[in-house]
Amino acid sequence: MRIPLIAGNWKMYKDIDEAVELATSLKNVLKDAQSDKVEVAVCPPYIDLQAVGAVIKGSNIVLGAQNMYAAQEGAFTGEISPLMLRSVGCHYVIIGHSERRQYFCETNETINAKVKMALEYGLFPILCVGEKLDEREKGITNDIVKDHVVGGLKGIPKEKMASIVIAYEPVWAIGTGKTATPDQAQAVHKFIRETIASLYDAATAQSVRIQYGGSVKPDNAKTLMNMPDIDGALVGGAALKADSFEAIVKFYR
């Protein structure tokens, strides 16, 4: 059974005081979320990780980071290592988000290196994949998504796949207010699962959680989460308010 994961990506929002306030609210409103039905994670900015981690420690919310560098340590000014993330209590780390690909020139190769390094140091990667609007309009969504999946998972052994979450995020639906229809999202999730099966086997593909991300809100979460191959959501804007994030999580209660 795949336990859905609802992860909040706070992006570059919330100073420490604001982050603590939000984390405290989430801890209170989600205290009855059952871990056998849904897993909940929050991914604040780096500077908030320690403070948020202290707030949610011992609760049913786990801590994640938004990025990391593919090295244990070294002269890499401005970067954060997997060991540093582990030291503040991170469980998940988002890797290859479309904003990282778009604004920071991340490639399948650099993303794959991060996935491998995260796994080596006991972190659980949330590997993001997804097409741009022009790519969907050209009818090459599957080609782009397959390229991201295959490139991101290159050299990852089958036994490590249980530690990886895939997040399908159509770039055209991130922060735009547009959302893939449930059928559109399901079709791509099914294709991702088939791609994983071709890389490994059917049993491995059926065990991997595949989230949907892209303007997920309380009013569209139910129809998306009801799809058979969608295992939760990577939530952006709606994760910045306790009531809207709670409403999305509540679908699985």
Q: Identify the active-site residue in 97, 106, 189, 246.
A: 97
User: Catalytic residue at 194?
Assistant: no
Q: Identify the active-site residue in 39, 131, 169, 246.
A: 169
Answer yes or no: are the C-beta atoms of 164 and 124 closer than 8 Å.
yes
Sign of CA dihedral 248, 249, 252, 253: negative
For 72-168, strand residue ranges (E) read: 90-95, 124-129, 165-168
Alpha helices by DSSP H, listed for the chain, are: 16-29, 49-56, 82-87, 98-103, 108-120, 133-137, 141-152, 182-199, 202-207, 218-225, 242-249
Instruction: Quote the CA–CA distance of 157 and 219 in Å, as a whole number.
Output: 38
Task: Compute the chain's Rg from CA coordinates.
Answer: 17
User: Catalytic residue at 169?
Assistant: yes
Q: Which two tokens stand for residue 183?
A: 């059928």
Residues involved in catalysis: 97, 169
